[in-house]
Amino acid sequence: MHPSLAQVQERIACQKTALPVMYGDVDFSATPERYTEQVEDSSLPKSLRHLPPPPADMKERVKAYTMLGDITADAYASLMGEYGFKRLVDMLTTACDHGIDAVPDAPKELVALIEEMETRPDWLDMDLVREGARLNRLPMAVTSPWMIRGAFLATFLNKYTALPMAMTGTLGHSTASRRVNETATFFTVTTLPGALEPRGEGFKAAAMVRLMHSMVRFNILRRMKSWDKSVYGIPVPQVDQMPAGLIDVFLLAYQMLDEGRTEFTAEERARVEFSRYRCYLLGLPEDLLMDTPQGIVDIMNARGASIREGFDDKTCGTLVRATLDAYLPPDQKVGHRIFNALEKRLARLVLVKHFLNGDSDRAREIGVPVGASEYAVAAVLFPYIATKMALYRFALSVPGLRKMADRRLTARIRRLLKRYGHAEFTSNAEAYRPAVPATA
């Protein structure tokens, strides 16, 4: 049963007393400028504004969660002054790899974080999660390497949500490739067999991502006096994790409703359960993790309609250009150079097609021009990707080939993870730079 709206608001407000070192000077009764109730002023794509508005209670929850960090992980990150950055990371890594008992004199904040992540919600069906992971291995192994940069670009289209990335200095030209590869690593590793179980690789990656986000919140709120809470609210609030965590099931749910379907098939349900549990491990409140097509569409649109539209070139444009210019492969081998050149072209089309509603003029304005060369690359690559997907789907549907095909996909994912490199999932406060206020 979901908490009442009053309970949600109480949880938001308690951050101030529970973690005064981070939230002591935050006015949780104030609504930041980033929030809007006018859909025409929001970041919700125009193509979705014709849909019936989400339920009022859902909109109020999204508004409230705009000011929610991650109380459990934030408490652990707040120990940086006592333990130091490296020791916090090392203790969390040990706890994920070997269990909390393997950490001598583990602080209660770390115990609470591990216990929270190991507590399975009542709605969870781990058999469905395992099946969802298996189903996601195919697109993650074949399609995602070509799409991840384009999807990553979409996170920089709004200054209110992109500013923490710009302030932390983690997405300049020198580090953009590392963050793109870390994002690819997280979503890829979670699809491996057993990855989301305690001691699993995906479980550990989720814990590290939570700590990274909490470090960002801690360092910005403590160190960056230029962060304007009346404009931007809380850095990396929970609602800002929804697009990355739920975009695949949102697109699925939206397509279903467009087709007149309101019930998931068995395979679709497994994919949804997998994405919901992955988001749960990342700390998202359960009442944001809808389990019906209409609910998923409503909560995602409520989030999009709650964020004021705003593209600032100093923040958004810089991040977009740095990410487009980044060289993602680990070396300069000929095959990797060719892949990087082609994948860059495809990234532009992914951004325009899936996140800019096909508006090439808008893409040009934000520094992502799409021309004949991009379409020529797509004309070659899309059929190649589609054919490879079809062959694997066929093999996965044949009982005698299914296990072999899944083993090949798992091996391919392992190779991709090696190419993406070791993911640190950390945030270096020394690289932070002051915020540049942008006109609303």
Q: Which stretches of 211-333 are assigned E, i.e. beta strand?
A: none
Residue 176 exposure: Cα atoms within 13 Å on the Cβ side:
19
Q: For residues 44 and 82, give the distance between their C-alpha atoms in angstroms, rounded to a whole number.
A: 42
Q: For residues 437 and 319, give the distance between their C-alpha atoms in angstroms, rounded to a whole number.
A: 16
pTM of the model: 0.92
**pLDDT category of residue 170 using cuts at 50, 70 and 90:** low
Q: For residues 413 and 185, give the distance between their C-alpha atoms in angstroms, rounded to a whole number.
A: 10
Q: For residues 63 and 41, give the distance between their C-alpha atoms in angstroms, rounded to a whole number.
A: 15
Q: For residues 273 and 269, give the distance between their C-alpha atoms in angstroms, rounded to a whole number.
A: 6
What residues form DSSP beta bridges with 175? none
Structure-block tokens of residue 107: 């602080």
- Percentage above 70 pLDDT, the chain: 95
> Do 213 and 70 touch, CB atoms closer than 8 A?
yes
Residue 159 lies in a domain: yes
Residue 308 lies in a domain: yes
Structure-block tokens of residue 352: 């325009």
Structure-block tokens of residue 169: 């200095």
Structure-block tokens of residue 76: 């652990």
Structure-block tokens of residue 313: 């070139």
Residue 2 lies in a domain: no
DSSP letter at 369 equals: -
Residues 6+ positions from 295 with CB-CB distance below 8 Å: none
Give the H/E segment covering residue 406.
helix 399-420
Q: Is 116 helix (H, G, I), strand (E, B) or coil?
A: helix
Question: What is the model's pLDDT at position 427?
Answer: 55
Place of tokens 């809808």: 290
Q: What's the number of domains the chain is made of? A: 1
Letter for the amino acid at 18? A
Structure-block tokens of residue 155: 């996170």
Return the closest-CA partner of residue 365 out of 351, 375, 379: 351
Query: pLDDT (tens digit, 9 = 90+) per residue, 221-268?
Result: 988 877 899 999 999 999 999 988 999 999 999 999 999 999 999 999
DSSP letter at 315 equals: I
Sign of CA pseudo-dihedral 424, 427, 428, 434: positive
Q: Is 200 helix (H, G, I), strand (E, B) or coil?
A: coil
Q: For residues 109 and 100, give the distance between their C-alpha atoms in angstroms, rounded to a whole number.
A: 11
**pLDDT category of residue 428 using cuts at 50, 70 and 90:** low
Structure-block tokens of residue 336: 């990797």
Count of C-beta atoms within a 10 Å radius of residue 174 = 12
Query: pLDDT (tens digit, 9 = 90+) per residue, 196-215?
Result: 999 999 999 999 999 999 99
Residue 423 lies in a domain: no
Query: pLDDT (tens digit, 9 = 90+) per residue, 84-94?
Result: 989 999 999 99
- Structural domain including 333 reads 7-418
**pLDDT category of residue 435 using cuts at 50, 70 and 90:** very low
Residue 438 lies in a domain: no
Q: What is the DSSP string of 176-192?
A: HHHHHHHHHHHHHHTTS
Query: pLDDT (tens digit, 9 = 90+) per residue, 25-43?
Result: 999 999 999 999 999 999 9
Confidence check: pLDDT of 172 > 50: yes
What residues form DSSP beta bridges with 307? 35
Residue 384 lies in a domain: yes
Residues 6+ positions from 38 with CB-CB distance below 8 Å: none
Long-range contacts at 100-103 (CB < 8 A, ≥ 24 apart)? none
> Do 185 and 330 touch, CB atoms closer than 8 A?
no
> Rg for the chain (alpha carbons), in Å?
21
Question: What is the model's pLDDT at position 48?
Answer: 86
CA distances from 107 to 95, 101, 113, 116 (A): 11, 11, 10, 14
Letter for the amino acid at 140? M
Residue 322 exposure: Cα atoms within 13 Å on the Cβ side:
22
Query: pLDDT (tens digit, 9 = 90+) per residue, 322-377?
Result: 898 899 999 999 999 999 999 999 999 988 888 888 888 888 888 888 999 999 99
Count of C-beta atoms within a 10 Å radius of residue 11 = 16
Count of C-beta atoms within a 10 Å radius of residue 37 = 11
Q: What is the mean pLDDT of the chain?
A: 91
Q: Which stretches of 87-222 are assigned E, i.e. beta strand?
A: none
Q: For residues 138 and 254, give the distance between their C-alpha atoms in angstroms, rounded to a whole number.
A: 21
Query: pLDDT (tens digit, 9 = 90+) per residue, 260-294?
Result: 999 999 999 999 999 999 999 999 999 999 999 99
Q: Is 35 helix (H, G, I), strand (E, B) or coil?
A: strand
Q: Tell me the average pLDDT across 51-77.
A: 94
Query: pLDDT (tens digit, 9 = 90+) per residue, 304-330?
Result: 999 999 998 888 888 888 898 899 999
Residue 440 lies in a domain: no
Residues 6+ positions from 183 with CB-CB distance below 8 Å: 148, 152, 244
